[in-house]
Amino acid sequence: MLARTNGASGAVISSEIAQGNQKTTSVGFTYTFDSRLTGLNPNAGVLIEAGTEFAGLSGDSKFIRSNAKVIGQTRVWNEEITLRATFEAGGLNWRGSNFSRAADRFVLGSDVMRGFEPAGIGPRDLSNGVNDALGGNLYAVARFEADFPLGLPEEIGLRGGLFFDVGNVWGLNDVNTAGGNIVGANGSARQVLGISLLWTTAIGPLRFNFSKAIQKETFDKEQSFDLTIQANF
């Protein structure tokens, strides 16, 4: 999750390490609604997920961390093209007397925001000659994609895709930034365009994503290719 140069850490991560072992006790819930299970339209559906985690009944960390995701999907053009839109966001409300740590904050992976390495966007500390990802208290991402046939025999199991992702992770409230060289605490919305190759195989549906960031920060860590297990939603 955190970048390193010769095993060194920036001022922020060093201060978090200096806190020593921290105990977190939490309880949470997740609500899920999936219209694919009860809906009358087999070619369209909505998935809604929302959850909250409460920490602080005991232990050293006290926070409320919430996130939500909404996905809408439909099939058009004789059900051959699948259109999908996803929006997800989250927030961390730190309530402890100590400072939060990177493990408590949101760090985005390619399953949430394509086009960048895991922890490739968001606040960073460039002190001590390193490039440490710090995560953020807030994040929001929207993803838009289309899957379509390539005109190949169906038994090959190959389809194509286009996607556009836009999002950001930001916010360092309740973080000890003393001595740090902080960039991206607020930042801007990153934007990514890409194409996909979807392949149904014996081991499961695979998705090959080829992407290009069209809006980014100079300190971001781009990733032009990733391989994931494709999901219906």
Whole-number percent of the chain with pLDDT over 90? 78
- Structural domain boundaries of the chain? 11-229
* pTM of this prediction exceeds 0.95: no
Sign of CA dihedral 221, 225, 229, 233: positive
Query: Half-sphere exposure of residue 91, counting CA atoms within 13 Å on the CB side?
Result: 2
User: What pLDDT, on a 0 to 100 scale, did the predictor assign at position 97?
Assistant: 83
Per the model's pLDDT, the better-predicted residue between 192 and 42 turns out to be 192
Question: From the CA atom positions of the chain, what is the Rg in Å?
Answer: 20
Structure tokens given for 77: 């053009």
**pLDDT band at 8; cut points 50, 70, 90:** confident
| Residue entry with tokens 């607020």 | 186
Q: Give residue-wise pLDDT tens across range 51-98.
A: 999 998 888 889 999 999 999 999 999 999 999 999 999 999 999 888
3-class DSSP assignment, residue 127: helix
pLDDT at 4 over 70: no
User: What pLDDT, on a 0 to 100 scale, did the predictor assign at position 229?
Assistant: 80
User: What pLDDT, on a 0 to 100 scale, did the predictor assign at position 58?
Assistant: 84
Fold designation for 11-229: Porin (2.40.160)
Per the model's pLDDT, the better-predicted residue between 232 and 113 turns out to be 113
CA distance 97 to 38: 46
The answer to whether the CB of 164 falls within 8 A of the CB of 144 is yes
Q: Give residue-wise pLDDT tens across range 12-31.
A: 999 999 988 888 899 999 99
Average pLDDT of the segment spanning 111-123: 96
pLDDT at 228 over 90: no
User: What pLDDT, on a 0 to 100 scale, did the predictor assign at position 1?
Assistant: 41
Q: Write the CB contacts of 220 (distance below 8 Å, at least 6 apart in sequence).
A: 116, 120, 121, 190, 213
Whole-number percent of the chain with pLDDT over 70? 94
**pLDDT band at 41; cut points 50, 70, 90:** confident
The answer to whether the CB of 134 falls within 8 A of the CB of 122 is yes
**pLDDT band at 231; cut points 50, 70, 90:** low
Q: Cβ atoms within 10 A of the Cβ of 87, count? A: 15
Q: b/e map of 204-213 (b: 16 or more CB within 10 Å)?
A: eeebebebeb
The answer to whether the CB of 197 falls within 8 A of the CB of 160 is yes
Structure tokens given for 154: 């169906």
